[in-house]
Amino acid sequence: MKANLIAAVSAYARAWQKTMDCPRPLNMLMFCGDKKLKDVAETFSTPLDIRVKAALSEAFDQRGIVKADFPADLRSDVLQFAGPGLWFDESPICLPRKPAAAAASR
């Protein structure tokens, strides 16, 4: 279920990035006009979006999914949808497991 949630949130964040389509130096939305930001926010604020964001916030508050679970190019955008539970530092208990080969080489 965790992998499915990460995949779904990643796809949602990629759709948001594609819709935003603004220059992103250092992965920051510095050169995106107010109208564009407002239009994208409205596009991703349907009643269903709001329900999904609330459910995601509740899931992320349980700390079983962390920023490190998402591809680096999505992490800052996933925070737009994940709620405050994903803003905190990762717990070593919840970090993704390293492949067995990497663990064995220690």
pLDDT in tens, 22-73: 887 776 667 788 888 888 888 888 998 888 888 887 777 777 788 888 898 8
Instruction: Provide the strand spans (E) within 52-105.
Output: none
Query: What is the three-class DSSP state of 92?
Result: coil
The residue among 97 and 45 whose pLDDT is bigger is 45
| Tokens, residue 74 | 């999505």
Tell me, what's the pLDDT at 98? 61
Q: For residue 11, what pLDDT band results from cuts at 50, 70 and 90? A: very high
pLDDT at 85 over 80: no
Query: What is the three-class DSSP state of 33?
Result: coil
Phi, psi of 70 (to 5 degrees): -105, 150
Tell me, what's the pLDDT at 93? 55
pLDDT at 92 over 70: no
